[in-house]
Structure 1
Amino acid sequence: MPLLAPALDPELNDLLAGLPPGGRLDVELLSAIRPFSVTPAETALRGHAVERRDAAAPRPDGTAVPLTVLTPAGGAPAGAPCVYWIHGGGMVMGDRFSQIDVPLDWLTAFGAVVVTAEYRLAPEHGGTALVEDCYHGLLWTASHAAELGADPDRVVVAGVSAGGGLAAGTVLMARDLGGPPVAAQVLVCPMLDHRNSTVSARQFTGRPAVWTGEMNAFGWASVLAGLGSAEVPAYVSPALAADLSGLPPTYVDAGTAEVFRDEDVAFANGVWAAGGDAELHIWQGGCHGFDALFPQARLSAAARRTRRDWLARVLDSTARPDIAARA
C-alpha cells in the first residue's frame, strides 16, 4: 500500500490527464519510448533567435562528447554569462536538445551563451561514464568561453532531473580536480540519490506519476551496473557526498508531489551545513519536471521566474566592473 502523497496542483493535474501514466520501466519499454524522448533540433529551437554551432569535447579515450553552442542572434553582449546545460531523462533517455527551452530563457534574459552536452546513456554506458562525459564537456566549455563570446568567470552549470544530478556531480568533480571555476549551479528537480529510499521516493512508488519510484530504481540500476562491485562514488550519486563545502552558489528546486523532493531538500541542507550558499524552492503541488513539461501552467511560470531572478542576482554579483560600467 503506497503512502499518502501530497496532492497535485489542480492545473497540473488537468494537464497530466493528457499524458500516459508512468509506472514501471524496463529495457524493452525503454527501447520503445526512447525515440519519443528526443526533440529534433529544428523543433526545439523554433521561435528562438539563436545562432547554432556544433562542437565536440575530447574524452581521454580519444572519442568525443557532442556539444551544441547556442548564441544570441547577432552575438552575445560583452561579459555575457555562459550556461553549460545537462539534459534530463532518468540517465537512460533524452538528448542535448531535451528541455532546452529552460536555458534558452536565460539566453533571452541575460544574453547568455548556452552549451548543451550529449552525454552517453545507461544502460549501454554506466558507472562514471555519464558524469565524466559531463565533466569533459565543462572543461571544453570553460576553455572556449571567451572564444564563444562569454566570460570564463561566469560559467553556470545547470541541469534538470538526471541532468541536475549530473550537474551536481560535475561541479563536485570540478571542485575536487582543481577546476574549472563555476560561478553557480542550478539544479532543477535533480536526481541525486541512488538509494531511492526517502519518504518522497516511497510516496511515489506503487502509484502513477511522471517519474515513479520504480522508474527511478530502473534508472539507477542501469547506471550502477557499470560499477560492478565498486563503491558508488559521490560524483555519480551526489547525495553520498560527505563534504559539500567549496561549492558555488546553488539553486535547488522541486515539487512537493515528486520522487526527488526529499533528496533535494537534503542536498540544500548539506550545502548550508557546510557554510555554503543555497536557495531552495519546493513548489506546492508540483509534479516531477512540471515546468519543463508544462511551461504554460501558472506554477511553472512562477518557478521559472523565481529561478531566473535568483540567477540574475548571482550573475550581477559576478559581473566585471569594467563590463558593468559599459552595460
Structure 2
Amino acid sequence: MTISRHLVDPELLPGLELIPSVEFTLEDLPAIRERMAEFTRMGVTEDLAGVSTTEDFVPSPQGHKVRVLIHRPDNLPPAAPVVVYSHGGGFLLGSAESMRLSNQLMARDVQCLVVSVDYRLPPEVPHPGPVEDCYAALKWVHDNAPSLGIDPTRIAVAGESAGGGLAAATALLARDRDEISLAYQHLIYPMLDDRTGPDTANPYAGEFVWTAGNNQLGWSALLGEPAGGEGVCGYASPSRAQDLSGLPRTFITVGALDLFADENLEFARRLMRAGVSTELHLYPGAYHGFELAKDAPVTKSAHETALAALRRGLAPAFNPTSESKGSE
C-alpha cells in the first residue's frame, strides 16, 4: 500500500512501471551492476547522428587513469563551451556509457563538448576517490583547452542524482583549490546530504525509485562508515559544506516527490544567501528519475527548461568574475 501514489502527476504514472522501487544490499550489487551493464549494452547500438564519441584516459595525481567519454558535435565552433558530466547511480551503480545518448543529445542541442567521467565506484573505492576522479577530469579539460578546442572560461560541471552531488562537490574543490574558475554548475535532482535517511526524510517523498534505505546504503558505501555521523566534509556531502560563497551560477531541478527535494531546496536557499545566482525548479507530482516518462508534458517541459538554462549558463556573457573565494 503506497502513501504517495495519489500525489503523482497522472502523466508520470507510466514511468513507474519502467523503474520499480526495490530495496537492495551490497551483496546484491554484482548482479544489479551486471543487469544494468547488459541493459546499457543493448541500448548503445550506434551514435547519435551529428555527434562523435571518443574515449580517453586522464592521468590522476593518485597514479591511476580516469576513463572519460568525449562527445563532440559535428562542426562545433572553435572555443566552444564544455560540460564535465558525472553520471548518477546512488554512488554504487552506473557508468559513462549509461548516459551516452543523453550526453550526446546535450552536446548536440547545446552545441558544446561533453566530457563524461567514468569515475570509480564505492564501496570498492570510497571517498575521496570518486570526487577526485571527477576533479582530475575537470583539471585535464581545463589544462588541455587548446587541443580540445574549448574555451577555458566556459566550463560547467553537471550531473544527475549521485552525479549531481559529485558535480557540486567538484565545484567546491575547484573553488577551494583555486586552479579552475567554473562558469556554471548544472544539478539534476542532486544527491547532496548523507543525513537524509528513513528517520529524517519527508514521508511523502522517496517512496518511488530511490528510497531512504537505498540512500543510506549508497552514502555509507561512499563514506566507508554509517551515513549521518559526525565529521563528514563538504567534499563528500556538499550539504555539509559550511560556506557556499564563491561558487558558480547554479541550476537545480527536482521533483516534489523525490527523496532529495528537501535537501535540494535547502541547498538552493543557502546558495542564494551566500550570494550565488541560483535557479531552482520544483515539479509537483514528480518522483526521482521522472524523465523516464518521456511522453509526459511535464517531462518535456523540464527537459527544455534545463537545456535553456544550460545554454544561458555557458554563454560568454555569464563568465564568472571570481572576485571572492570561499573556504571549506
Q: Deviations over 1:26-82 (max 9, x none)?
A: 012222111233323971753342222211121222111111111112x42133111
- Superposed counterparts of 1:62-141, under 5 Å: 62-73=63-74, 75-141=75-141
Cα offset, 1:85, TM superposition = 0.7
Q: Could you tell me whether the CA contact under 8 Å between 2:14 and 2:293 is conserved in 1?
A: no
Q: Could you tell me whether the CA contact under 8 Å between 1:255 and 1:287 is conserved in 2?
A: yes
* Residue 62 of structure 2 is aligned to residue 61 of structure 1: yes
- Superposed counterparts of 1:2-17, under 5 Å: 7-17=7-17
Which amino acid is 1:70 matched to? H
* Residue 200 of structure 2 is aligned to residue 190 of structure 1: no
Cα offset, 1:101, TM superposition = 3.6
Most deviating of 307-316 and 270-279: 307-316
Most deviating of 10-19 and 194-203: 194-203
Cα offset, 1:11, TM superposition = 2.0
CA spacing shift, 1:118–1:216, aligned 2, 3 Å = same
Most deviating of 195-204 and 53-62: 195-204
CA spacing shift, 1:237–1:5, aligned 2, 3 Å = farther
Between the aligned partners of 1:284 and 1:121, the Cα distance in structure 2 is 32
CA spacing shift, 1:272–1:5, aligned 2, 3 Å = farther
Map of 1:325 onto structure 2: none
* Residue 269 of structure 2 is aligned to residue 269 of structure 1: yes
Between the aligned partners of 2:45 and 2:179, the Cα distance in structure 1 is 31
Between the aligned partners of 1:316 and 1:130, the Cα distance in structure 2 is 29
CA spacing shift, 1:211–1:83, aligned 2, 3 Å = same
Which amino acid is 1:72 matched to? P
Q: Could you tell me whether the CA contact under 8 Å between 1:256 and 1:283 is conserved in 2?
A: yes
Between the aligned partners of 1:95 and 1:216, the Cα distance in structure 2 is 18
Instruction: Note the residue ranges of structure 2 that are not aligned, 5 or more in a row.
Output: 320-328
Cα offset, 1:100, TM superposition = 3.5
Which amino acid is 1:25 matched to? F
Which amino acid is 2:305 matched to? T
Instruction: Note the residue ranges of structure 1 that are not aligned, 5 or more in a row.
Output: 321-327
Most deviating of 125-134 and 158-167: 125-134
SS of structure 1 residue aligned to 2:148 = coil
Q: Could you tell me whether the CA contact under 8 Å between 1:5 and 1:204 is conserved in 2?
A: no
Map of 1:22 onto structure 2: 21
Q: Could you tell me whether the CA contact under 8 Å between 1:87 and 1:96 is conserved in 2?
A: yes
Q: Could you tell me whether the CA contact under 8 Å between 2:205 and 2:256 is conserved in 1?
A: no
Map of 2:296 onto structure 1: 297
Between the aligned partners of 2:281 and 2:289, the Cα distance in structure 1 is 13
Q: Could you tell me whether the CA contact under 8 Å between 1:68 and 1:116 is conserved in 2?
A: yes
CA spacing shift, 1:44–1:180, aligned 2, 3 Å = farther
Which amino acid is 1:86 matched to? S
Q: Could you tell me whether the CA contact under 8 Å between 1:201 and 1:260 is conserved in 2?
A: no
Cα offset, 1:5, TM superposition = 7.5
Q: Could you tell me whether the CA contact under 8 Å between 2:82 and 2:156 is conserved in 1?
A: yes
Q: Deviations over 1:71-119 (max 9, x none)?
A: 112x421331111110000000100122334433331123211101011
Map of 2:325 onto structure 1: none
Q: Deviations over 1:282-319 (max 9, x none)?
A: 1111110222x333332111111111111222233448
Q: Deviations over 1:115-137 (max 9, x none)?
A: 01011101111121111111111
CA spacing shift, 1:105–1:51, aligned 2, 3 Å = closer
Map of 2:171 onto structure 1: 171
Between the aligned partners of 1:41 and 1:252, the Cα distance in structure 2 is 31
Q: Could you tell me whether the CA contact under 8 Å between 2:183 and 2:318 is conserved in 1?
A: no
Between the aligned partners of 1:34 and 1:116, the Cα distance in structure 2 is 19
- Superposed counterparts of 1:205-216, under 5 Å: 207=207, 209-216=208-215
- Superposed counterparts of 1:40-55, under 5 Å: 40=41, 43=44, 46-55=47-56
- Superposed counterparts of 1:170-319, under 5 Å: 170-197=170-197, 200-204=201-205, 207=207, 209-225=208-224, 231-291=231-291, 293-318=292-317
Between the aligned partners of 1:226 and 1:60, the Cα distance in structure 2 is 25
Q: So what's the TM-score if we normalise by structure 1?
A: 0.88
CA spacing shift, 1:44–1:28, aligned 2, 3 Å = farther
Could you tell me the percent identity over the aligned residues? 36
CA spacing shift, 1:262–1:227, aligned 2, 3 Å = closer
RMSD (Å) for aligned C-alpha atoms: 2.5
SS of structure 1 residue aligned to 2:97 = coil
Map of 1:323 onto structure 2: none
